[in-house]
């Protein structure tokens, strides 16, 4: 099987997630508390972990529907037009009157690392009912969700989707606290290294991933930036290396990973093979500025799968 040929029928992808306008400040470094740095350049871009994940899967040719919300304003309308241009089905992105479109201030330093602060705005109005409407319409496929929506809505929506036979990818980003509440068995959790520590209180990556996999009775794929990823379930631990990348901006690398992972799973790929592909996609995304600009098309992804390319990262880039 090549990456372009599914093993059987292709399942639909639904992303239940956030949409933001990113105010991106490229600066020499990230200011410390109380400090002012005056050397940044500013650009406005589209972002939000959910919308980014949807775009990443659509760039690869996936059939993707986004469930989210924007403000009922010119920024919201422009965000919807951008989703149209990306080929994402946005009929279930609601325009809400009570809040503006979500906004993220993304500060990127000279090394390509970032610090992000989000004002959720309309994202806070998204509810599990918004997804329930879609589950009745679309045949069961792959659901991707993240923690930039109200957490109760996410947990309820995941429960509904799993009960309806959907494969669920939970990207617990951002995560600042231990994971609580009931999650249905069999979900795939995709924290980065920081999130893994926050969710489990354990610093050793493999031990933390085993702990989380046991807690959710599912699979954990921990994304480790330039070090690639590790897949952990009850009976399996597999480390996947990231290819070399000339990283300039890691913003959106994790979103690219999750979108590509969903695309692979929708096409019937085994989890470890899917993670291998998603790591390559995330690595590619770091070579361009902005959350979405470097997300590869299928053609670009296939070109990067050349087995002659170095297997281990030397200068950064990968899913984080
Ligand atoms: O993961 C990157 C995204 O996080 C940005 O696009 C920003 O909007 C925040 O949601």
- Domains in the chain and their CATH numbers? 13-31+39-304 (3.40.1190.20)
Instruction: Pick the catalytic residue from 84, 177, 255, 306.
Output: 255
In whole angstroms, how far apart are CA 96 and each of 44, 88, 92, 278? 22, 19, 12, 33
Question: Is residue 166 a contact partner of residue 141, using CB atoms and an 8 Å limit?
Answer: yes
The overall pTM is greater than 0.85: yes
User: Ligand 1 mean position to 201 CA, how many Å?
Assistant: 24
Distance CA 259, CA 278 (A): 8
Checking if the pLDDT of 111 tops 50, the result is yes
Q: Which atom of ligand 1 is nearest to the CA of 251?
A: 2
Per-residue pLDDT tens over the stretch 136-156: 899 999 999 999 999 999 999
pLDDT attached to residue 318:
60
255 is known as an active-site residue? yes
Q: Residue 305's pLDDT is what?
A: 79
pLDDT above 70: residue 312: no
Exposure string for 261-284, b = 16+ CB within 10 A, e = fewer: bbbbbbbebebeebbbbbbbbbbb
Q: What is the pLDDT of residue 158?
A: 98
pLDDT of residue 311: 40
Average pLDDT for residues 88-101, to the nearest whole number?
A: 98
In this structure, the residue with its CA closest to atom 8 of ligand 1 is 48
What does pLDDT average to over the chain? 93
CA of 32 to the centre of ligand 1 (A): 21
């Amino acid at each position: 099987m090549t990456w372009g040929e599914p093993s059987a029928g292709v399942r639909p992808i639904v992303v239940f997630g956030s949409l933001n306008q990113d105010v991106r400040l490229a600066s020499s470094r990230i200011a410390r508390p109380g400090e002012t740095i005056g050397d940044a350049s500013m650009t406005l871009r589209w972002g939000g972990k959910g919308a980014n994940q949807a775009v990443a899967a659509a760039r690869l040719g996936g059939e993707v529907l986004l469930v989210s919300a924007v403000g009922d304003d010119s920024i919201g309308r422009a965000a919807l037009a951008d989703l149209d241009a990306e080929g994402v089905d946005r009929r279930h992105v609601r325009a809400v009157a009570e809040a503006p479109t979500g906004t993220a201030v993304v500060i990127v330093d000279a090394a390509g690392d970032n610090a992000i602060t989000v004002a959720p705005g309309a994202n806070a109005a998204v509810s599990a009912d918004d997804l329930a409407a879609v589950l009745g319409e679309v045949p069961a496929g792959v659901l991707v969700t993240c923690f930039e929506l109200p957490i109760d809505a996410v947990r309820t929506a995941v429960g509904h989707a799993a009960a309806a036979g959907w494969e669920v990818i939970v990207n617990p980003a951002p995560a600042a606290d231990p994971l609580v509440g009931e999650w249905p068995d069999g979900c795939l959790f995709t924290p980065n290294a920081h999130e893994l520590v926050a969710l489990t209180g354990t610093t050793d990556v493999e031990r933390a991933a085993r702990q989380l996999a046991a807690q959710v009775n599912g699979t954990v794929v921990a994304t480790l930036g330039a070090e690639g990823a590790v897949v952990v379930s009850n009976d399996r631990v597999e480390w996947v290396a990231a290819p070399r990348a000339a990283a300039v901006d890691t913003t959106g690398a994790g979103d690219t990973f999750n979108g590509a992972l969903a695309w692979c799973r929708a096409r019937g790929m085994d989890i470890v093979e899917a993670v291998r592909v998603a790591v390559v996609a995330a690595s590619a995304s770091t070579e361009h500025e902005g959350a979405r600009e470097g997300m590869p098309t299928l053609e670009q992804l296939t070109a990067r799968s050349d087995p002659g390319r170095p297997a281990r990262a030397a200068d950064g880039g990968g899913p984080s």
